[in-house]
Amino acid sequence: MRSTLATPHATPLWKDGWYQFSGHLPSPNFGPRPPGTTISLIVIHSISLPPGQFGGDEVQKLFTNQLNWDAHPYFKSIEGLQVSSHFYIRRQGELQQFVSCNDRAWHAGTSSHLGRSNCNDFSIGIELEGLEGDDFEACQYETLESLCAALLQNYPVAHIAGHEHIAPDRKNDPGAGFDWQLMQKSLGLPNRYLPKIVTPSN
């Protein structure tokens, strides 16, 4: 299914919403954004499958509908789940992409940002391999910062938030271990881009 979204011109970094410095693992879990949608939000998530275990391919299998629900007891609790994210950053900094940024990935669920509901419609989702509340690796921040810089150059992104900020009654990721101030400083972003709860006072 092709998106009806008006897309930016292709650049050396992007082709049809696919980032050239990511490994491409296309997911079937996506759809078109509503016509005329402005991509204005980046949402940061954290994920590990099973929770707290790193280094396997279970997340990739989940996003591509290939996860064996019988492979671990935890998987039975999410059996049948069909989700995706645009990007996934592994513990060693490897970047993978599952859905074109021009299309709507299924990462946010029931959500709202600044009074605007259905964040999947207008956001780009980035999953970090990790456990909510725990710390993330320096190389993950490096990859995240490079990716966000490229997204900010190619899309009219005006805000970056965590899943916990757009779905506070349901989600707690990426959690207290995520260093928002480090990312803000690395990208040189003014406070208006970040959740108010994490912006520095000076």
Looking at per-residue confidence, does 151 or 11 come out higher?
Answer: 151
Pairing of strands 87-89, 123-129: parallel
**Would you state the pLDDT for residue 1?**
37
Give pLDDT tens digits for 38-60.
999 999 999 999 999 999 999 99
What residues make up the domain containing 184? 14-198
Domain for residue 1, yes or no?
no
Domain for residue 7, yes or no?
no
How far is the C-alpha of 39 from the C-alpha of 108, rounded, in Å? 14
State the chain's mean pLDDT as an integer. Answer: 93
Lowest pLDDT segment from 2-6, 85-89, 139-143, 174-178: 2-6
**Confidence check: pLDDT of 3 > 50:** no
How far is the C-alpha of 131 from the C-alpha of 49, rounded, in Å? 9
Domain for residue 186, yes or no?
yes
How far is the C-alpha of 145 from the C-alpha of 71, rounded, in Å? 34
**Would you state the pLDDT for residue 102?**
97
Domain for residue 2, yes or no?
no
Res. 4 pLDDT band, cuts 50 70 90: very low
**Would you state the pLDDT for residue 12?**
84
Domain for residue 64, yes or no?
yes
The count of C-alpha atoms lying within 13 angstroms of the C-alpha of 175, restricted to the half-sphere facing its C-beta, is 16
Q: Which of 127, 129, 132, 164 is catalytic?
A: 127
**Would you state the pLDDT for residue 196?**
77
Asked if 120 and 34 count as a contact pair (C-beta separation under 8 A), the reply is no
Domain for residue 5, yes or no?
no
Instruction: Count CB neighbours of 202 within 10 A.
Output: 4
- CATH classification at residue 165: 3.40.80.10
* pLDDT mean over 167-173: 96
Query: Which amino acid, one-letter code, is at 122?
Result: F
User: Which DSSP helix (H) or strand (E) runs through 117?
Assistant: strand 116-117
* Catalytic residue flag (residue 129): no
Q: DSSP string of 53-116?
A: --SSSHHHHHHTT---TTSSGGGGGGTT-----SEEE-TT--EEE-S-TTEEES-S-S-EETTE
What is the three-state SS of 139-163?
A: HHHHHHHHHHHHHHHHCCCCEEEEH
Backbone angles phi, psi at 134, to 5 degrees: -90, 175
- Domain count of the fold of the chain: 1
Res. 202 pLDDT band, cuts 50 70 90: very low
Domain for residue 49, yes or no?
yes
* pLDDT mean over 125-154: 97
Domain for residue 102, yes or no?
yes
